[in-house]
Amino acid sequence: ATQTYWKIIHGLPDGHPEKPGMISDLAWILAIRFNETGDIGDLNAALDLDRDAMFAAPTSHLHYNSIILRTASHLCIRFENLRSVAELEEAISLLDHLKALISDNHRGRHASKLELVHRLSIALFLRGRHKDDIGDIDRAIEELTQYKDELAQSQFGSEGLRTLALSHLTRFRRARDNKDANCALSVVTELLNTAPPYEQYQSLIVAAEIYLEEGTPYHDVTIALQYLADAVANGHKDIRSRIQGAK
C-alpha cells in the first residue's frame, strides 16, 4: 500500500488538489504500521509527510482539518514513545489554531469538531500530567465535559471518556478532592457498563488504576487486581498488548 501511495503522490504535480490528502493518507498508513511494529522510523516518516501535507494545503483546502488532526495525533504518539515535550507543544498549538479557525469561520463538519475536542483533550492531559500543570488538566476536563454526551455517541467515545476519567484522577492526586475521585470512578463505570467487550480492554486497565489509587473513598486492591485479571483475559486484544498493558 505504501509503495502504491508513493507512486501516486510522485505522479501528481505540485498544486494538485488531491495531493495534500494523499500525502496525509500515506502518513496515516505509516503511523498505523508503527503501532504494529514499533519502528520509530515509520512514525518519523509519517510526521515528515504530515508537515509536507500541511505545507501543501491552504486553510481553505477540503482536507485541511483532517490533516491538522492527524498530525496532532501522530505528535502525541511520538511524545508517548519518546517523551519529547516539543511534540506536545506543537500538537496543542496546531489544535488551538484549528479550534480558532473553526470557531471564527464556522467551518468543518460536527464530526471534525468532536475529533478536535478529543485530540486537544488528549494532548492537554498528556502535557498536564507530564509537567504537573493543573491548568492543562483543568482545561482537558472542561473540554471533555462540555461535549461528554456527544463524544460518548461518537467513534471517539471510549477513548475520550477514558481521558476524562484519567484527567479527574490526575487532578485528585494534586488537590485530593473526593469529587474528582468520584467523577473518575463514575466515568469509567459508565464505560464498562456500556462499551462492547471488544472495546473494554483499556477501560479495564483504567478501572484498575482508579481502584489502586490510595486516598480515594473506594480504594480496593482486590477489585483492582480483578480488573487487571479481566484485562489480561480479554480475548479481543492480542496477548502481547494485554500483558504489556496490565504490567
On whether the CB atoms of residues 114 and 120 are closer than 8 A, the answer is no
For the stretch 100-108, contacts whose Cβ atoms lie closer than 8 Å and that sit 24 or more positions apart, written own/partner, are 101/59, 102/65, 107/65, 108/65
* Total-model pTM: 0.90
Average pLDDT over residues 185-196: 92
| ∠ CA 24-29-33, rounded to 5° | 145
Q: How many Å apart are CA 122 and CA 241, to the nearest integer?
A: 21
Residue with cell 486484544: 237
- State mean pLDDT over 48-77: 95
Is the predicted pLDDT of residue 88 greater than 70, yes or no?
yes
Residue 5 has pLDDT above 80, yes or no: no
Mean pLDDT of all residues in the chain?
Answer: 90
Q: Which residue has the cell 482486590?
A: 222
Residues 64-71, mean pLDDT to the nearest whole number: 96
Worst-scoring range by mean pLDDT, 108-112, 178-182, 195-199?
A: 108-112
